[in-house]
Amino acid sequence: DQQVKQNSPSLSVQEGRISILNCDYTNSMFDYFLWYKKYPAEGPTFLISISSIKDKNEDGRFTVFLNKSAKHLSLHIVPSQPGDSAVYFCAASPNRDDKIIFGKGTRLHILP
């Protein structure tokens, strides 16, 4: 029973264009969402987050959009750079709960 779903295993985007990574969730108790980035042979690192009281959060080239009614969030990277090639994990957490549940990840390839 997958509560956080990233249905695209991989995505290729031209350098300089926009990368859009999608995430769906099934648990209506989730109210905080996070994106983590992972390079090979390293642990994941925090990228950006959003609370359910917002529908958008922006940090430099990275923007996360949340659509609560659709139980869907997306990460936009503009413009995409070679260093953005990595695996991106969507994660979610219910309020007052200590667990953080991750999706399967999407591998992003930035093409020169």
Partner 1 sequence: NAGVTQTPKFRILKIGQSMTLQCAQDMNHNYMYWYRQDPGMGLKLIYYSVGAGITDKGEVPNGYNVSRSTTEDFPLRLELAAPSQTSVYFCASRLTGAVGEKLFFGSGTQLSVL
* Interacting residues toward partner 1 by CB under 8 A: 4, 6, 9, 31-32, 34, 36, 41-46, 49, 51, 89, 91, 93, 95-96, 98-105
Shortest Å distance, C-beta 49 to partner 1: 5
Shortest Å distance, C-beta 33 to partner 1: 9
Three-state SS letters, the chain:
CCCEECCCCEEEEECCCCEEEEEEECCCCEEEEEEEEECCCCCCEEEEEEECCCCEEEECCEEEEEECCCCEEEEEECCCCHHHCEEEEEEEEECCCCCCEECCCEEEEEEC
Shortest Å distance, C-beta 92 to partner 1: 10
Query: Which residue, 100 or 111, is less far from partner 1 as judged by CB?
Result: 100
Query: Which residue, 2 or 14, is less far from partner 1 as judged by CB?
Result: 2
Query: Which residue, 76 or 104, is less far from partner 1 as judged by CB?
Result: 104
